[in-house]
Amino acid sequence: MGSVSKDDSLAGSVEIRIPLDVGIEGGNFKDTVNIDPSDMDTTNIDNMNYVELTLEIKNAIPVSIVFTGKFFDLSGNYLFNLPPEGSSSDSLIIPPPTVGNDGFVSSPGVNKQTIKLTGAEAKSFLKGGKIIMQLGLFTPPAGNVKPVK
């Protein structure tokens, strides 16, 4: 048989589940992604006509996400938006994930889009810099979605 002394401790945890409806209005977040061209062969960069970027964004949080970005060169000068001018939209909409009958996310929402950069935009991108991304979170009106666990 064991004993308990003043130096012993006892720990535990309790999980409490309370139904909660949460709505997000105007939830915006910013993050920065550095573009490092060190692993690219840039010797013929001036001969390139265009660059195709394939963005695949997966969303497993139960809200819609709106993505916009601004590209800056290595000196911090603003160059262009993502998606760039002339695209079908000025932002990318990432749909919410699919929620199963059990209330858990069963598959993420996905937006896969190819963006074509031409001319100076393409060359600037290949030389490196950073993308400042802005993500907006949007929930549907109360009562229009399944609860998520």
Taking only the tens place, the pLDDT of each residue in 85-127 is 777 788 888 998 888 888 888 999 998 888 888 888 888 888 8
What's the CA gap between 11 and 140, in Å, rounded? Answer: 40
What pLDDT does 47 receive?
80
What pLDDT does 13 receive?
63
Give the CA distances from residue 123 to residues 5, 32, 41, 92, 142, in Å, rounded to whole numbers and listed in that order: 70, 20, 12, 23, 46
Dihedral sign, CA of 136, 141, 142, 144? Answer: negative
What's the CA gap between 147 and 134, in Å, rounded? Answer: 27
What are the tokens at 22?
């949460």
Q: What is the pLDDT of residues 59-88, one digit of tens each?
A: 888 888 888 999 898 888 898 888 877 777
Give the residue from 19, 86, 11, 18 showing the smallest Cα distance to 50.
86
Judged against a pLDDT cut of 60, whether residue 20 lies above it is answered with no
What pLDDT does 29 receive?
86
What's the CA gap between 119 and 70, in Å, rounded? Answer: 17
Whether a cis peptide bond, with omega within 30° of 0, leads into 83 is yes
If you average pLDDT over every residue of the chain, what do you get?
A: 79
Dihedral sign, CA of 91, 66, 27, 69? Answer: negative
What's the CA gap between 57 and 66, in Å, rounded? Answer: 11
DSSP bridge pairs for 105:
99
What are the tokens at 29?
């977040």
Q: Between these two residues, 39 and 55, which has the higher pLDDT value?
A: 55
What are the tokens at 10?
């006892």
pTM exceeding the 0.75 threshold for the entire prediction: no
What pLDDT does 51 receive?
84
